[in-house]
Amino acid sequence: MKSNSESMGVGSHRLSSRIRRGDVFSEDCPSRGVLLHATSRWGVLVLVALVEGMHRFSDLRRKITGISEKMLAKTLRDLESDGFVLRVAKPVVPPHVEYSLTPMGLEISGHVAELADWIELNIPKILKARERGR
């Protein structure tokens, strides 16, 4: 139940058929930036929200309780620049802007959603662990 530690040692990559990870740990790796956006406080929630389809700005604002307009705008801009979110502004009055996931965005939010789901599912256990910790 804890044999993963000493049995393999720090240096012996046991990621046999897995990806050669390692670059994320380097501070100048561009992955860090993307990871930063995708796992940012609001980025996660926006991605998960958009899994269910297109949303308008105010839809997201309502759905993601507690987010401010500024942060929602910034988060959407970041995710858009990474190619995860598609922004479509219709030239009408009043403005009408639609946000949705790109194919790439759909892939990554799958992973993010799994993470979020796991946490929600395990919240009881986590909270219990926390109490024991104090």
Distance CA 68, CA 73 (A): 9
The answer to whether 78 contacts a second copy (rule: CB under 8 A) is no
Q: Which stretch binds DNA (CB under 7 A): 4-12, 44-52, 73-81, 108-116?
A: 73-81
The answer to whether 128 contacts DNA (rule: CB under 7 A) is no
Q: Which is nearer to DNA, 51 or 74 (CB)?
A: 74
Of 41, 65, 62, 50, which Cα lies nearest the Cα of 103? 50
108 binds, among DNA, a second copy, none (CB under 5 to 8 A by kind): a second copy
Report the nearest approach of DNA to the CB of residue 8 (Å): 19
Report the nearest approach of a second copy to the CB of residue 76 (Å): 13
Amino acid at 65: T
The SS3 of residue 97 is strand
49 binds, among DNA, a second copy, none (CB under 5 to 8 A by kind): a second copy
Residue 102's alpha-carbon distances to 2, 77, 84, 110, in angstroms, are 40, 14, 5, 12
